[in-house]
Chain A
Amino acid sequence: GENVEQHPSTLSVQEGDSAVIKCTYSDSASNYFPWYKQELGKGPQLIIDIRSNVGEKKDQRIAVTLNKTAKHFSLHITETQPEDSAVYFCAARGEGAQKLVFGQGTRLTINP
């Protein structure tokens, strides 16, 4: 089955700097890759997603890139702000599959 690995497990950056979180997946049939942000006491919130027919997608300060050949995808956050501090999860889903397989999460801390 699908396996998703996420790195790093913790990341600390200065406010205003960029943050990058990387994920690799094992199943070449996976075609949907969402990213979630989870704040304390809340459920994961979908922040951006990308499908396998697209190489990059951007939404304001957040962007995701996908390399299907290498089977990895990355989340880029620019101009980080204190409210970006949270745990971020990547996930992958195969065509026709009903379940998401999640990475282990990255705890991002933005230092003022």
Chain B
Amino acid sequence: KAGVTQTPRYLIKTRGQQVTLSCSPISGHRSVSWYQQTPGQGLQFLFEYFSETQRNKGNFPGRFSGRQFSNSRSEMNVSTLELGDSALYLCASSLRGSTSPLHFGNGTRLTVT
């Protein structure tokens, strides 16, 4: 069974631009979560989607948004990029969400210059 796939693996953007990251969950998984990983803050929860609905959101500004499609694939968008948005963005999928183990992809490394 294929794992969680994230594209692209690497991105370089400049301040003020916007970016869209993509995530394909494990087949059959309906819940997709996004996490930001930085050396200083560690792994921080961004949001979680289940059946195209956002169920929970972390403490991030409104510049961070996401969506989930009917095939469970998910995208997250960051607008008006800031230098501090440089991070590894991880997508994770699970069968049902809160009662199922979370499986992570290898992430998208975003660098903002």
Residues of A at the B interface (CB closer than 8 Å) are 34, 36, 41-46, 49, 89, 91, 93, 95-105
Contact B105 A97 (CB under 8 A): no
The dominant DSSP class at the B interface is strand
Is B11 part of the binding interface, using a Cβ–Cβ cutoff of 8 Å? no
- A98-B43 contact, Cβ under 8 Å, with A36-B104, A43-B106, A46-B103: no
Docked-complex contact B33 and A43, CB < 8 angstroms? no
B interface residue count range (under 10 / 10 to 19 / 20 to 34 / 35 or more)? 20 to 34
Segment touching A, from B12-20, B72-80, B94-102 = B94-102
Q: How far is the CB of B34 from chain A (nearest CB, A)?
A: 10
Min Cβ gap B111→A in Å is: 15
Q: Which residues of B contact A (CB under 8 A)?
A: 4, 6, 31, 33, 42-43, 45, 48, 50, 55-56, 58, 90, 92, 97-98, 101-107
- Chain A residues with Cβ below 8 Å from B97 are 98
Complex CA–CA separation, A68 to B37 (angstroms): 28
Instruction: Tell me the bound Cα distance from A96 to B101 in angstroms.
Output: 13
Question: Which of B6, B50, B90, B102 lies at the interface centre, i.e. has the most chain A CB atoms within 10 A of its CB?
Answer: B102
B42 to A98, Cβ gap below 8 A? no
Closest to B4 in A: A43
Q: Give the residues in chain A near B6, CB-CB below 8 Å.
A: 43
CA distance in complex: A98, B58 (Å):
10
Q: Which residues of B contact A96 (CB under 8 A)?
A: 98
Q: Which residues of B have CB within 8 Å of A49?
A: 101
Nearest A-chain residue to B41, judged by Cβ = A104
Alpha-carbon distance A104/B92, docked complex (angstroms): 18
B5 to A: closest C-beta gap in Å? 11
Q: CB-CB < 8 A to B101: which residues of A?
A: 34, 46, 49
- Tell me the complex Cα distance, A101–B33, Å: 13
Contacts A42-B106, A46-B103, A93-B98 known; 4 new A-B pairs at CB < 8 A: A36-B104, A43-B92, A43-B106, A43-B107
